[in-house]
């Protein structure tokens, strides 16, 4: 466990540095910015959404039609939900009118935000005092909900006349041949109210920024692709996917990522190092976020990947997946991976092999080590497991078993619900183990689990109390508590 303790101290030091950073959302005065939609972009009439600063007139927001994936047994269907967005600082009041009938129940998620709402007739009202990416749900309907993205006010808008700026103002923009290839040193700006019909391709370049409050059209599969590049920044846009492969020093902030088609992974990180994903919202028709080794023409392992301050909603597959792929002849390492301050809203996966809100599956001779899950709040998902840690050989995707999983910390993880199936922790053989796994302040339905928890019979494993199966070739699973 010595190595895990050293890693923990390192992560704590990093956390202290992050806590000392200035807030990007701080503003000197209250501001509210709403953006009109291009006339030809599809809208959804399920909701009428308005926003205002207290005491000021209401402003109408466009309600864009966005697609989501619905699993029905073994079949999938595409459902039409809604999306609206605006920017603000200070405080705002929001009115959401439901146009399809009476409101029996309403809720605003993530539930951890504790946003109260009032219902009067067919209208829900609530207040916000800081930016948030939200789901507004009526009558328990997860597939025709309102995705409401309340952004911070932009602190930087580039000069549209700058020769190093590719500027898209409000309106619909058709990209020739469907791809915008960005050159080194360029900034692409997609303004609020703009819709870009085409993929943004960042390939074999460096020092590129893609900024704004606009959208990449929801019909574009793979909205942004970052490949073999370095020093890349993505901030503030909406699109189906944001992919990173073979790249170094990538930052993705406040990206709203929604997919609805087969293999609709949200944010793949493949063979890349020094990647920060911060303040994003992912609702995806496959894994929300992944870290893989060699795959899709990219080679090498991954290190120093962090996702924080984000919301994940997996309509199918995993919210978080690490491992699986791939370089048996030249074994790779996936290491120093952090997931901090995350809300998981849903997980729906009928296949046991692909379950796990937090899943580490070592295959293809991968070694996965030094992974941290901290301040993770999991709501009652529809079907799957809370945790799945396995060294495995899955012949559909792998050519060999992984080499091991080691030094994993779950700190302040909570789950509230009744649908979770037993979690699995399982090694492969005596040379391919899962080892040094710590659960610190694990809370399941309000119960704090630890090896010395009150009422635990001496002959019970804590994992049994917590609904976890710990199988063979597993060493050093510890449950501890720091509070009461």
pTM: 0.93
Which strands, in side-by-side order, build the sheet including 92-98? 59-61, 47-52, 92-98, 123-128, 118-120
Compute the average pLDDT of residues 215-231.
Answer: 97
| 3-class DSSP state of 282 | strand
Q: Is the pLDDT of residue 10 over 70?
A: no
Q: For residue 408, give every residue at least 6 positions away whose Cβ sits within 8 Å of its Cβ, in sequence order, or none.
A: 360, 371, 372, 373, 389, 436, 437, 438
Give CA–CA dist 391/363, Å, rounded.
6
Contact (Cβ atoms closer than 8 angstroms) between residue 226 and residue 243: yes
Which residue ranges does the chain devote to CATH 2.60.350.10? 31-152
Question: What are 192's two structure tokens?
Answer: 């609020």
Is the model's pLDDT at 21 over the cut of 50? no
Q: Provide the pLDDT confidence category of residue 458 given band limits of 50, 70 and 90.
A: confident
Q: What is the pLDDT of residue 484?
A: 64
Whole-number Å distance between alpha carbons of 391 and 361 = 6
pLDDT band at 73 (very low <50, low <70, confident <90, very high): confident
State which H helix or E strand residue 74 sits in.
Answer: none
Predicted local distance difference test score (pLDDT) of residue 9: 41
Tell which residue, 343, 358, 373, has the closest CA to residue 424. 358
Domain 241-480's class?
mainly beta
Pairing of strands 92-98, 47-52: antiparallel
pLDDT value of position 325: 87
pLDDT at residue 75, as a whole number: 86
pLDDT value of position 2: 43
Per-residue CA distances from 104 to 117, 119, 124, 341, 470 (Å)? 13, 9, 11, 31, 42
In this predicted model, what pLDDT tens digit does every residue of 273-321 receive, in sequence order? 999 999 999 999 999 999 999 999 999 999 999 999 999 999 999 999 9
The segment(s) of the chain belonging to CATH 2.160.20.10 are 241-480
So what's the pLDDT on residue 15?
Answer: 44
What local confidence, expressed as pLDDT, does residue 326 receive? 77
Report whether pLDDT(151) > 50: yes
Q: Assign residue 455 a region: left if phi > 0, alpha if psi is -120 to 50, beta otherwise?
A: left
Of 188, 146, 184, 151, the residue nearest 46 (C-alpha):
146
Does residue 14 carry a pLDDT above 50? Answer: no
Q: What are the strands, taking DSSP E only, across 182-301?
A: 187-190, 194-203, 206-212, 215-216, 224-227, 230-235, 238-239, 242-245, 248-253, 256-258, 267-270, 273-278, 281-284, 289-292
Residue 369 near residue 406, CB atoms below 8 Å: yes
- Domain covering 31-152 assigned CATH 3.40.50.300 in the classification: no
Q: Hunting for tokens 């997919």 — which residue is that?
A: 259
Spatial distance between the Cα atoms of 225 and 237, rounded to a whole number of angstroms = 13
pLDDT tens profile 125-144: 999 999 999 999 999 999 99
* Percent of the chain's residues with pLDDT above 90: 91
Please state, in angstroms and rounded to a whole number, the distance separating the CA atoms of residues 125 and 119: 7
Confidence band for 444, pLDDT divided at 50, 70 and 90: very high
* Cα→Cα distances 466→176, 378, 453, Å: 55, 15, 11
Judge contact between 33 and 192, C-beta under 8 A: yes
User: What is the rounded average pLDDT for all residues in the chain?
Assistant: 93
H or E segment and range at residue 454: none
The pLDDT score that the predictor gives to residue 13 is 40
What is the three-class DSSP state of 381? coil
Residue 234 has pLDDT above 70, yes or no: yes
Range 339-368 average pLDDT: 96
Query: How many other C-beta atoms are found inside a 10 Å radius of the C-beta of residue 5?
Result: 13
Does residue 363 contact residue 336 with C-beta atoms inside 8 Å? no
């Amino acid at each position: 466990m010595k190595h895990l303790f050293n890693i923990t101290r390192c992560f704590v030091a990093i956390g202290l540095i992050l806590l000392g950073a200035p807030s990007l959302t701080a503003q000197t005065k209250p501001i509210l910015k709403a953006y009109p939609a291009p006339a030809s972009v599809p809208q959804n009439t399920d909701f009428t959404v308005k926003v205002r600063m207290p005491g000021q007139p209401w402003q109408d927001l466009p309600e864009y039609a966005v697609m989501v994936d619905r699993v029905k047994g073994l079949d999938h269907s595409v459902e039409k939900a809604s999306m609206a967005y605006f920017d603000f600082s200070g405080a705002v009041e929001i009115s959401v009118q439901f146009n399809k009938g009476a409101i029996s129940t309403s809720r605003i998620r993530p539930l951890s935000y504790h946003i109260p709402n009032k219902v009067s007739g067919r209208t829900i009202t609530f207040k916000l005092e800081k930016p948030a990416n939200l789901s507004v749900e009526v009558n328990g309907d997860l597939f025709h909900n309102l995705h409401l993205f309340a952004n911070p006010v932009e602190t930087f808008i580039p000069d549209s006349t700058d020769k190093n700026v590719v500027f898209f103002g409000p309106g619909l923009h058709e990209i020739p041949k469907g791809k915008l290839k960005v050159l080194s040193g360029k900034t692409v700006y997609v303004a609020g109210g703009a819709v870009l019909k085409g993929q943004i391709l960042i390939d074999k370049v460096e020092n590129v920024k893609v900024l704004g409050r606009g959208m990449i059209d929801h019909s574009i599969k793979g909205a942004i692709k970052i490949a073999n590049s370095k020093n890349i920044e993505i901030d503030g846009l909406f699109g189906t996917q944001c992919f990173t492969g073979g790249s170094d020093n990538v930052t993705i902030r406040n990206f709203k990522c929604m997919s609805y088609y087969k293999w609709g992974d949200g944010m793949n990180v493949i063979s890349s190092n020094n990647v920060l994903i911060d303040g994003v919202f992912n609702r995806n028709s496959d894994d929300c976020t992944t870290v893989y080794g060699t795959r899709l023409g990219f080679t090498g392992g991954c290190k120093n990947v962090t996702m924080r301050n984000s919301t994940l909603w997996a309509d199918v597959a995993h919210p978080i997946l690490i491992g699986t792929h791939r370089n048996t002849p030249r074994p790779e390492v996936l290491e120093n991976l952090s997931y901090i301050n995350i809300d998981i809203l849903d997980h729906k996966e009928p296949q046991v092999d692909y379950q796990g809100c937090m899943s580490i599956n070592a295959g293809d001779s991968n070694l996965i080590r030094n992974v941290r899950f901290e301040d993770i709040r999991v709501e009652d998902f529809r079907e799957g497991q809370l945790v799945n840690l396995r060294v495995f050989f899955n012949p559909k995707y792998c050519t060999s078993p992984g080499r091991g999983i080691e030094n994993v910390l779950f700190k302040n993880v909570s789950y509230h619900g009744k649908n979770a199936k037993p979690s699995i922790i399982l090694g492969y053989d005596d040379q391919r183990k899962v080892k040094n796994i710590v659960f610190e302040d694990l809370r399941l339905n309000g119960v704090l689990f630890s090896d010395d928890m009150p009422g635990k019979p001496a002959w019970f494993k804590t994992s049994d109390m917590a609904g976890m199966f710990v199988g063979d070739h597993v060493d050093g699973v510890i449950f501890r508590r720091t509070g009461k």
